Amino acid sequence: MSAATEPRDAGHSGAGKGSHDPVQQARRRRTFAVISHPDAGKSTLTEALALHARVLSEAGAVHGKAGRRGVVSDWLAMERARGISITSAALQFEYGDCVINLLDTPGHADFSEDTYRVLSAVDSAVMLLDAAKGLEPQTLKLFDVCRHRGIPVITFINKWDRPGREALELCDEVHERIGLRPMPLTWPVGESGHFRGVLDRNTGEFVSFERTAGGATIAPEHRIAAEDAAEEAGADWQRAVEESELLSASGGDMDVPAFSRAGATPVLFGSAVQNFGVGHLLDLLVELAPQPTPREDVAGRTRELDAPFSAFVFKVQTGMDPAHRDRVAFARVCSGTFERGMVATHAATGKPFATKYAQQVFGQQRDTVELAYPGDVVGLVNASALGVGDTLHTGKPAVEFPGIPSFAPEHFAVARTTDPGRSKQFRRGIEQLSQEGVIQVLRSEARGDGAPVLAAVGPMQFDVATHRMETEFRAPLQLERLPYHVVRLVGDQQQRSTLQTRNSEVLDRSDGSALAVFTDDIALRSLIRLHPELDLRHVVADT
Ligand code: G4P
């Protein structure tokens, strides 16, 4: 029996739909993100998933690219101008008896730090590959984060409607380059570009592919019994059957525990733009993807799902609604029931936080959230006190979840304002951007003038900071780029003076740790050669 039909202890059996019990509700939740390289089809797939769940009557309403109909998921003017999605939000919809929380992630590599944070809030991920390109750099980077966190991954090989690579070759690539054993649940009939449909490896049926006009409606699925498939698809069917048998012989059959351990990945072939394979993906998420489980707090204690309400902030976003300069903190519920209006405690300060304005946000679409359960994402409006990584909770015992790590920056610039009369606004703006995680803010003792050094994983983060400082804080930024690209954590702060050279310097983080930054690897290696006693550590994403 395949995973797709295996009975599970999950809410999709119907139990718990009307219940207010957080444990029952958690069983119904599937919280995941789509990870992909830009242009693999993430926006298209998001839209297709929502379409399948009948949220949208017609595809096109949540597309995240410029120049398309009703661009809902891009809210900053800059995003529209550049045609990229900088910010993330969450889309919630019911599918069968389940509640699907799809967390959006920015496509552009420069905003990968934001994507990493989103991955701290999901229970599984869908890795979307372009059939012509296979694994691309951004997919690999994001997959590393999934591996690090033990996030189970489902692979969707997209764009099978147009010429691409061989299915076996793509599966081999997944196995060889990222060490995930592929377990195809469907197998393409007809090579990419001559896509006739898929062989459902569970039922043995042929699911034929029919192009729809612009993919705007749910593609009709025709299931044809294996004995009639040969007549329908001839040699393509024969080849698919043979390749599928080969897969079974080489360990490519579904193995649920291996998926849960993040050691193997179920694979589906499809076409997001044609809505083909998308329904199967949703079914798979419902039946196979993990539901929310209890989280550990900073002290390593488990916060059970039925403990009082707790949540952590994984993203802060300002200026989503240009009419009101509001600030929304996106929090993932970890335990208990969230009820709008409840007063929670902000663990970092011990201060009360009123949740009167709680919303579900996807792009410019906002709905008030009355109740939320483990796995859900709540957008807390006017959350000026909340920063990325903060915990909210009610009741006893108090809880604080581990903060979300900062990632190794690769670009640095000294920030000053060109308008000395606005220095107060400048300081406030920089502080806010830091709290939101738009950029990292470092200080330099050696530079002496107190100007902050902005650090970014991708240089476009500087553009966002510049834009926001000018439009929101009216404190125009002048950035002096520094020549550093390699960074290490300083293990022994007594060694600071040794690290201050022509090709390196020491910058301080707000948490008291210090970073040594180097122009390049050569500068780092030659300093270590001169001073082998230097205690320098990698800035690991998940420490
Ligand atoms: P992204 O969010 O991952 O960056 O990708 P997006 O969905 O924007 O898709 C990137 C391009 O790939 C789009 O084309 C989209 O239509 C196309 N695409 C997505 N899925 C499929 C698929 O299954 N088959 C084919 N053939 N194409 C697909 P574009 O030319 O950039 O935009 P558009 O003019 O088509 O809207």
CB 345 near ligand 1, within 6 Å: no
CB 241 near ligand 1, within 6 Å: no
The reported pLDDT for the residue numbered 20 is: 87
Q: If you average pLDDT over each of 42-46, 141-145, 238-242, 379-383, which comes out highest?
A: 238-242
Contact 336, 23 (CB under 8 A): no
CB 461 near ligand 1, within 6 Å: no
CB 36 near ligand 1, within 6 Å: yes
Exposed e or buried b per residue across 46-57, where buried means at least 16 C-beta atoms within 10 angstroms of its C-beta: bbbbbbbbebbe
The residue assigned the tokens 């890795």 is 127
Q: Mind listing the pLDDT tens digit for each residue in 65-114?
A: 433 333 344 344 544 444 444 444 678 888 888 999 998 777 666 677 78
- Closest residue CA from atom 6 of ligand 1: 41
pLDDT-derived band at 437 (thresholds 50, 70, 90) equals: confident
Report the amino acid identity of residue 216.
Answer: A
Q: What's the CA gap between 111 and 262, in Å, rounded?
A: 25
pLDDT-derived band at 144 (thresholds 50, 70, 90) equals: confident
CB 39 near ligand 1, within 6 Å: yes
Q: Mind listing the pLDDT tens digit for each residue in 470-486?
A: 988 999 999 999 999 99
Bigger pLDDT: 239 or 148? Answer: 239
Q: If you average pLDDT over each of 49-53, 56-60, 214-218, 450-454, which comes out highest?
A: 450-454
Cα torsion 44, 47, 49, 52: sign: negative
Report the amino acid identity of residue 527.
Answer: L
pLDDT for residue 324 is more than 70: no
The reported pLDDT for the residue numbered 362 is: 57
Atom of ligand 1 nearest to the CA of 44: 7
Atom of ligand 1 nearest to the CA of 36: 3
Candidates 471, 419, 467, 461; CA nearest to 440 is 461
CA angle, 176 as apex, 291 and 164 as ends, to 5°? 90
The residue whose CB lies within 8 Å of the most ligand 1 atoms, and thus the one to mutate among 65, 74, 80, 280, is 65
Atom of ligand 1 nearest to the CA of 107: 4
Atom of ligand 1 nearest to the CA of 68: 36
Q: What's the CA gap between 213 and 274, in Å, rounded?
A: 8
pLDDT for residue 467 is more than 50: yes
Exposed e or buried b per residue across 77-92, where buried means at least 16 C-beta atoms within 10 angstroms of its C-beta: ebbeeeebbbbbbbbb
CA angle, 65 as apex, 60 and 66 as ends, to 5°? 105
Q: What's the CA gap between 47 and 59, in Å, rounded?
A: 6
Give the pLDDT mean for 13-41. 85
The residue whose CB lies within 8 Å of the most ligand 1 atoms, and thus the one to mutate among 39, 82, 160, is 39
Q: What's the CA gap between 353 and 342, in Å, rounded?
A: 8
Bigger pLDDT: 10 or 501? Answer: 501
Atom of ligand 1 nearest to the CA of 65: 8
The reported pLDDT for the residue numbered 506 is: 97
CB 271 near ligand 1, within 6 Å: yes
The reported pLDDT for the residue numbered 365 is: 58
pLDDT for residue 457 is more than 60: yes
Give me the interface pTM, i.e. the ipTM. 0.97
Exposed e or buried b per residue across 129-168, where buried means at least 16 C-beta atoms within 10 angstroms of its C-beta: bbbbbbbbebbebbbebbeeeebbbbbbbbbbbeebbebb
CB 133 near ligand 1, within 6 Å: no
pLDDT for residue 145 is more than 90: no
Report the amino acid identity of residue 528.
Answer: I
Give the pLDDT mean for 334-360. 88
Q: What's the CA gap between 261 and 263, in Å, rounded?
A: 5
Which of the 8 DSSP states describes residue 109? G
Which of the 8 DSSP states describes residue 217? S
The reported pLDDT for the residue numbered 363 is: 54
531 is in an annotated binding site: no
How many residues are listed for the chain in this entry?
543
Contact 9, 15 (CB under 8 A): no
CB 201 near ligand 1, within 6 Å: no
- Closest residue CA from atom 19 of ligand 1: 41
- Closest residue CA from atom 35 of ligand 1: 273
Q: What rounded mean pLDDT belongs to the chain?
A: 84
Q: What percent of the chain has pLDDT over 70?
A: 84
Q: Mind listing the pLDDT tens digit for each residue in 108-143?
A: 666 777 888 889 999 999 999 999 999 998 888 888
Q: What's the CA gap between 441 and 433, in Å, rounded?
A: 9
CB 215 near ligand 1, within 6 Å: no
340, with CB counted inside 10 A (0-12, 13-18, 19+), is middle
The reported pLDDT for the residue numbered 108 is: 65
Rg of the chain over all Cα atoms, to the nearest angstrom: 25
The reported pLDDT for the residue numbered 354 is: 87
Question: Pairing state of beta strands 222-224 and 206-208?
Answer: antiparallel
108 is in an annotated binding site: yes
pLDDT-derived band at 216 (thresholds 50, 70, 90) equals: low
| End-to-end CA gap in the chain | 40
The reported pLDDT for the residue numbered 158 is: 96
The reported pLDDT for the residue numbered 64 is: 42
Atom of ligand 1 nearest to the CA of 276: 23
Bigger pLDDT: 365 or 417? Answer: 417
The residue assigned the tokens 């738009």 is 438
Give the pLDDT mean for 406-431. 92
